[in-house]
Amino acid sequence: MSTPSRPQLLSKYDVPGPRYTSYPTVPYWAHQPTADQWLTSLAQPGVTRRGTPAGAGIYVHVPFCESLCTYCGCNTRITRNHELGHRYVDVVLQEWELYRRRLSPENQLPLAELHFGGGTPTFLEPPHLRRLAAGILAGGRVIPGAELSLEADPRVTTRAHLEALAELGFNRLSLGIQDFDPRVQDAVHREQSEELVQAVVQHARELGYQSLNFDLIYGLPFQSEDSIRNTVAAVTRLNPDRLAFYGYAHVPWIKPQQRKFTEADLPTGEAKRHLYEVGRELLEAAGFREIGMDHFAKETDSLWLAAQQDNLHRNFMGYTARPVLPLIGLGVSAIGDSWNYFAQNEKVLEPYMQRVLAGELPLVRGHTLTAEDLVLRQHILNLMTAFSTRWTEPDLQSPFLELAHLRLRELAADGLVELQDQGCTVTPLGRTFLRNICMALDARLARQAPPERLFSRAV
């Protein structure tokens, strides 16, 4: 039998699958920890077997946006009422105070990472953004080399926003770009020119932000090979340090705003994968190196250096340059991770605010990892960050791995992985199919009825 061509493989493995920012993935969570278990675990988090732990991380979700992008899959509240944002800052700081009271001074969190995400953190006016950051930083011990970052929408981000956070030590900025093509921007209701982005980039560089990330999306309505080429050309001129290049997830039954365009406007299947391939090749030609799944970085960026030093980590924020544990999520819908537990806050703004104001942690769901979960979580993390995993050591073994090994055989026959007796290594060709490879080790998917398929059809 001849080896399938790359286009045949792209077609064969074009099945939906998780992005594995957690294992188990959220739909399989069960056994939510009590608030007490969760808080106790923060003082004694579990330990990943990969990399050198750096310290704790805090993710703060700011849900507000002034207008709705039609592709959006985030937890947002569309409003122009900035007063609501001010009240929200008070509530998040009150939530942080609930954690601080429980963490004794000697256990004060050594903060390695603080990230403001959304929504749009720069929806908050600069004095309130600063108040939020200062209040959180006052309750932690910021370790040397900590990464303090924010996501920003270039359309509503001023120099004053960036200045307010730079003065507190923020050193990383992530901009939502998606695509520079005017027709695509019109369809997704997000119009932002290269000049507008250039101005924000320039402010950030002048204020000392050391790392700039751009988020791009492929698979948006009306995207074409030309629009991807033009977008990557503009990105190259703007010169970020790292990039995320995500596939658009079309779920209009969950996100009704995605009905603003029709399925016929969307590149799907092979056409969508082709856009990724074109973008990937152009980014690599421009000096960006592929890291894990959907991410690229310059060789000077800390993510690339972490990957070379085997120190890359992955959590709900995506890839981080070192293991960050525990991770505390503050704000509506935010998720925390202590390695042994996941915990998520209320997903609707009003109950979130009411519960915090009543003095309770606003947890609404979570998961207690089983012994099998912990082993498989480690292997999936190894694959997502280092393209390789081994289960030779007794505490990295689990009965499911025998079945996983069988599930990997077809992928090995297609040249995507090399199998060892107790382990596997992703081949250079297999990197594009990392999601499918991780799915082979996902016991939760394998046990659903019918079991999740790793590929759509044989070729």
**Tokens of residue 108, six digits:** 């004060």
User: Rule CB under 6 A: is residue 331 a binding residue for ligand SF4?
Assistant: no
Q: How far is CA 217 from CA 227, 289, 324, in A?
A: 12, 17, 26
Cβ 279 to ligand SF4 shortest distance, Å: 19
Nearer to ligand SF4 by Cβ, of 119 and 279: the residue is: 119
Nearer to ligand SF4 by Cβ, of 246 and 387: the residue is: 246
User: For the chain, what is the total number of helices (H) and then of strands (E)?
Assistant: 16, 19
Cβ 345 to ligand SF4 shortest distance, Å: 17
Binding mask 258-287 for ligand SF4 (x = CB under 6 A): ------------------------------
Binding mask 58-97 for ligand SF4 (x = CB under 6 A): -------x--xx--x-x-x---------------------
Nearer to ligand SF4 by Cβ, of 188 and 438: the residue is: 188
Go through the chain and tell me how many residues it has.
459
Nearer to ligand SF4 by Cβ, of 220 and 369: the residue is: 220
Nearer to ligand SF4 by Cβ, of 92 and 439: the residue is: 92
Which residues within the stretch 101-120 sit at the binding site for ligand SF4 (CB under 6 A)?
118-120
CA nearest 9: which of 247, 219, 274?
274
Cβ 82 to ligand SF4 shortest distance, Å: 15
Nearer to ligand SF4 by Cβ, of 41 and 76: the residue is: 76
**Tokens of residue 105, six digits:** 């001074």
Cβ 216 to ligand SF4 shortest distance, Å: 13
Distance CA 429, CA 415 (A): 7
Cα 58 to its chain centre, rounded Å, is 14
- The backbone region for 239, taken as left when phi is positive above 0, alpha when psi lies in -120 to 50, beta otherwise, is left
**Tokens of residue 377, six digits:** 């979580």
Nearer to ligand SF4 by Cβ, of 191 and 299: the residue is: 191
Cβ 122 to ligand SF4 shortest distance, Å: 10
- CA dihedral of 177, 335, 26, 322, whole degrees rounded to 10: 70
| Beta strands 211-218 and 172-178, pairing class | parallel
**Tokens of residue 415, six digits:** 């040249």
Nearer to ligand SF4 by Cβ, of 65 and 91: the residue is: 65
Which residues within the stretch 144-173 sit at the binding site for ligand SF4 (CB under 6 A)?
153
Cβ 257 to ligand SF4 shortest distance, Å: 8
Crossing angle of helices 194-206/225-238, nearest 10°? 30
Distance CA 34, CA 366 (A): 9
Q: Which helix (H) or strand (E) holds 342?
A: strand 341-345
Distance CA 348, CA 253 (A): 18
| Beta strands 141-152 and 341-345, pairing class | unpaired
Contacts of 183 (CB under 8 A, 6+ apart): 222, 227
Cβ 245 to ligand SF4 shortest distance, Å: 16
Cβ 227 to ligand SF4 shortest distance, Å: 18
Cβ 120 to ligand SF4 shortest distance, Å: 5
Nearer to ligand SF4 by Cβ, of 153 and 290: the residue is: 153
Distance CA 390, CA 379 (A): 8
Cβ 183 to ligand SF4 shortest distance, Å: 18
- How many residues bind to ligand SF4 according to rule CB under 6 A? 11
Nearer to ligand SF4 by Cβ, of 178 and 368: the residue is: 178
Q: How far is CA 82 from CA 63, 86, 352, in A?
A: 12, 7, 18
Q: What is the DSSP letter of 427?
A: -
Distance CA 176, CA 243 (A): 10
Provide the binding-site residues for ligand SF4, judged by CB under 6 A. 65, 68-69, 72, 74, 76, 118-120, 153, 176
